[in-house]
Amino acid sequence: MTETEEKVVQAREVVESASNIVVLTGAGISSESGVPTFRGQEGLWQNYRPEELATPEAFWKDPKLVWEWYDWRRNAVKDAKPNPGHYALAELENNVPNLTLVTQNIDGLHQMAGSSNVTEMHGNLWQIRCTKCGDIEQNFDVPLAELPPKCKKCGEMGRPNVVWFGEMIEMSLIDKVLKAIEECHVMLIIGTSGVVEPAASMGLVAKQTDKTVIEINPEETPSSGLYDIVIREKSGEILPLLFTSNRTLS
């Protein structure tokens, strides 16, 4: 049996014996759906610097430029479909008494795969939030009819309903995630480089409260050394193996 196969067997035993699981995902889980990640080998940030675009300052300085980038990202994601990793987590949700799925992704692919209890830490690419009245509109137009789009309610300028660098995530959301971590038996950390807070510290919180942590990522991350089982493979290949014992590694 290869080292990976041994780890998959270990991870499967842990997951199948857990009744309360927290899953944290990052851009890596969507990379097999053709959605570019931010960092790592084929990262999106190779051509851009986050502070140029994903910040309130950048938006208010040039809302049209920032919206051009989000319109481009919406176009890049519009044809993306969930991959076996997303579907496996949706299946897991139906087989575990208590599963909290927390994602840093804004692509909506977990929901498309059938996950219903999804906490989007960084917002959603398909939502436009009014900069004046705060109304949030679901909008799947690609391309957007006008840039920047206007609020359908009050006519003021809309912004992407995402969390930018320098913006705070609602404390109530973070408290909910930390509580879920405290109550869980196992935490799966999938496809995240573990460099952006507060998500980056969540694996440490799990370890500090004696949870078993399983990381699935082809690349090393700053906290990999803390975790119990580290599987250096693609999530789309590994996740379907974790809860169905009758499959073998491809």
Residues that bind ligand APR (CB under 6 A): 26-28, 31-32, 37-40, 43, 50, 104, 122, 191-193, 196, 216-219, 221, 234-236
Are the C-beta atoms of 8 and 214 separated by less than 8 Å? no
Is residue 198 reached through a cis peptide bond, with omega within 30 degrees of 0 on the bond before it? yes
Residues, the chain: 250
- 206-230 in b/e burial notation, b at 16+ Cβ within 10 A? bbeeebbbbbbbeeebebbebbbbb
Q: Whose Cβ is closer to ligand APR: residue 63's or residue 198's?
A: 198
Report, in Å, the least distance between residue 216 CB and ligand APR.
6
Q: Whose Cβ is closer to ligand APR: residue 32's or residue 151's?
A: 32
Would you put residue 149 in left (φ > 0), alpha (ψ -120 to 50) or beta?
beta
Report, in Å, the least distance between residue 153 CB and ligand APR.
27
Tokens standing for residue 96 = 């575990």
Q: Whose Cβ is closer to ligand APR: residue 53's or residue 151's?
A: 53
d(CA 120, CA 173): 9
Report, in Å, the least distance between residue 94 CB and ligand APR.
22
Q: Is 86 a catalytic residue?
A: no
Q: Whose Cβ is closer to ligand APR: residue 88's or residue 216's?
A: 216
242 exposure class (CB count in 10 Å sphere: 0-12, 13-18, 19+): buried
d(CA 7, CA 224): 14
Q: Of 86, 110, 122, 185, which is the active-site residue?
A: 122
Report, in Å, the least distance between residue 181 CB and ligand APR.
17
Q: Whose Cβ is closer to ligand APR: residue 72's or residue 152's?
A: 72
How many CB atoms neighbour CB 20 within 10 A? Answer: 15
Which residue is nearest to ligand APR, using beta carbons?
28
Report, in Å, the least distance between residue 2 CB and ligand APR.
18
Residues noted as catalytic: 122
